[in-house]
Structure 1
Amino acid sequence: MKLGKTQFLKIAEQNYSGLFLEDEDGERAFLSKVFAPENPVIGEEMEVFVFQDDDRLKATTEKPIAEVGEFAVLTCVESMPSGAFMNWGIIKDLFIPYKQQKSKILEGKRYLVQLYVDEFTDLITGTTKFKRNPQYENTPFNYGDKVNLIMMNESELGWNVVINKEYIGLIYASDVYKKLYPLSEEIGYIKAIREDGKIDVSLQPEGYENNDEFQKIILDALEANHGLLYLSDNSSPEDIKQELQMSKKNFKKAIGGLYKWNKIEILDDKIKLYEEGE
């Protein structure tokens, strides 16, 4: 039985309160009749999430916001001296002991939380204390992979981020081209997996193979500004960043391609949409 994970279990037994579900090893979890199918069939499989409650393994068909080993932004529903209870999408709230809180968790506030199974209590538990920029082995990423990000916090180097709910990475300050906020979600791209196992991420794809995305941003901006943008090869990186939220390097690549295909004209202090007959 995989505690804190969504899995398929077979219906083994039914009583007036619900169903007993069983894995291949014969271990059982109880599914309340609230979540049971209307006409359960012994031997059929169900996809459920398994958790622990009152020293019993229980199952639910609800989908948790995060599973064991993952990070998620959760809201506190109750704060007590001993710890805090967080809404994580299932009938039983997630408990974060006081000792696992980086700072006191307050009711109604949102926090980035990592889920794990406590080795002493064998309970699914949350923590807001986690390693910054940890080293990984055998990550499932390749250069250029598109990933989902949760913004953690800003540091001297840039922004620490959660990648695909499971890994911590870093966006260097030089790769940040727009305003970012803690706990916000962004799309990112794997920039490098270093020899020490740390992961670097970019907010923008790199290379000519991704030029279409930057060209579209520029064309959309031109359309929105009556065919003119007061940006050019001579513009500062700061001006390009503020206007288009991209680096000067990517801007120059993009307008080079647009010029080649007669989409734009490049003037000394601006670019403009190409018009037939000019």
Structure 2
Amino acid sequence: MLQVGMFHSLEVVNEVPFGFYLDGKDKGEILLPTKSAPLGCKLGDQVNAFIYHDSDDRIIATTKRPKVLVDHCAYLKVVSVSKVGVFMDWGLEKDLLVPFSEQTYPMSEGLSYVVYVFCDEETGRLAASTRLSDFLYEESSDEGGTFEPRQEVELLICAKTDMGYKAIINGSHLGLLFRDEVFKPIKIGHSMKGFIKSIREDGKINLCFQFHDPTARNTLEEQIIEDLIAHDGLSTLTDKSSADEISKRFNVSKNAYKKALGSLYRQKRILLDKTKVTLVKKSD
């Protein structure tokens, strides 16, 4: 069955002055306008096309890739406000509607928001929503996947709360990054890697960017040694460096980096002073 909001490989079955018609199976023939057709398109070709509704609510095809597909989340910008909701730029000629009923709070033109794209069951048309909890799972045991502590995941930061930040996990679940786990500047809409820190008794998911146990410290220590080797045994990134510099190099907090340096110093693997870190050669 053809799904609106997705790419499908469809056969060109008719050519007209303004484009081509594709075999849309249960949706009938679907127009692929000339400007959206591949160069040299002809009858019998298979075209990988995105299916959606145009401004006249007709099902139409394009080879242009939108910024987000149906049943996925994205950080999009509001380009206009109307009587029925707001419209967001998602990379196609017809902007994406977020009805007022799907807005957690009023959305403003010129600002960007994380939204979930869905297909309206009544109209069959695509729309978006900021009510992420209506579409995403909030417990690890929910259908859609079970997570384990220490598992690496893809995160999309979607909201700021009094406790920290909410993030979308692997496009399917919602989790929480506590404020003390955020050691680098992050903003709504940022995509990054993170970890499952723990699963609470109620099934809710806690997230983190790093672990503070001995295993994690040992891994960081080896990363520091490898970095020193790659830079001829010398680094100006010391325990006096800024948290931002440390985060950019090793993706860890300044506190974690200082502890790893201290451990390497006690092991006599490095020398430390205010301006540099020096690798101790085995023959020294």
TM-score normalised to structure 2 length: 0.75
Instruction: Provide the residue aligned with 1:234 in structure 2.
Output: none
- Aligned partner of residue 99 in structure 1, secondary structure: helix
Q: Deviations over 1:221-254 (max 9, x none)?
A: x7234xx4359xxxxxxx9899654275676457
Distance 2:28 2:17 in 1: 20
Cα gap change, 1:184 to 1:99, in 2 (>3 Å): same
Which residue is equivalent to 1:39? Answer: 40
* 8 Å CA contact 2:246, 2:257 repeated in 1: no
**Paired residue for 2:106, among 87, 104, 114?**
104
* Contact persistence 2:86–2:107 (CA under 8 A): yes
Task: Please give the alpha-carbon distance, in whole angstroms, between the structure 2 residues aligned to 1:11 and 1:193.
Answer: 50
Q: Are the aligned partners of 1:75 and 1:110 in contact in 2 as well (CA < 8 Å)?
A: yes
Q: Is the counterpart of residue 30 in structure 1 residue 31 in structure 2?
A: yes
| Alpha-carbon shift at residue 134 of structure 1 (Å) | 2.1
Equivalent in 55, 58, 69 of residue 56 of structure 1:
58
Q: Equivalent of 1:78, from 54, 77, 80?
A: 80
**Compared CA separation, residues 214 and 202, structure 1 to 2 (3 A):** farther
Distance 1:73 1:26, change over 3 A: closer
Deviation string for 1:30-58 (max 9, x for gaps)?
21111112322433322111112223211
Which residue in the other structure is 2:138 paired with? 134
Aligned match of 2:13: 12
Gap change, CA 1:11 and 1:223, over 3 Å in 2 = same
**Equivalent residue number for residue 158 of structure 1:** 164
Deviation for aligned residue 1:72: 1.0
Gaps of 5+ in 2: 229-233
**Is 1:246 the equivalent of 2:250?**
no
Alignment equivalent of 1:229, drawn from 239, 246, 265: 239
Structure 1 unmatched runs, 5+:
232-238
Once residues 170 and 126 of structure 1 are traced to their aligned partners in structure 2, the CA distance between those partners, rounded to angstroms, is: 23
> What RMSD over aligned residues (CA atoms) do the two structures have, in Å?
3.8
Equivalent of 1:178, from 181, 184, 201?
Answer: 184
Where 2:8 maps in the other structure, the secondary structure is: strand
Identity %: 26
Distance in 1 (CA, whole Å) between partners of 2:4 and 2:35 is 21
Contact 1:49 1:63 in 2 (8 A): yes
Summarize the Cα distance change of 1:77–1:230 in structure 2 as closer, same or farther, 3 Å threshold.
Answer: closer
User: Comparing 76-85 with 145-154, which one deviates more in the overlay?
Assistant: 145-154
How far apart in 2 are the matches of 1:257 and 1:128? 47
What SS does the aligned partner of 1:89 have? coil
CA distance in 2, matches of 1:118, 1:14: 31
Contact between 1:214 and 1:251, CA under 8 Å: does it hold in 2?
Answer: no
Give the number of aligned pairs. Answer: 267
Q: Which deviations, in whole Å up to 9, do the C-alpha atoms of 1:113-134 show, x marking residues without a partner?
A: 1111122222101112232872
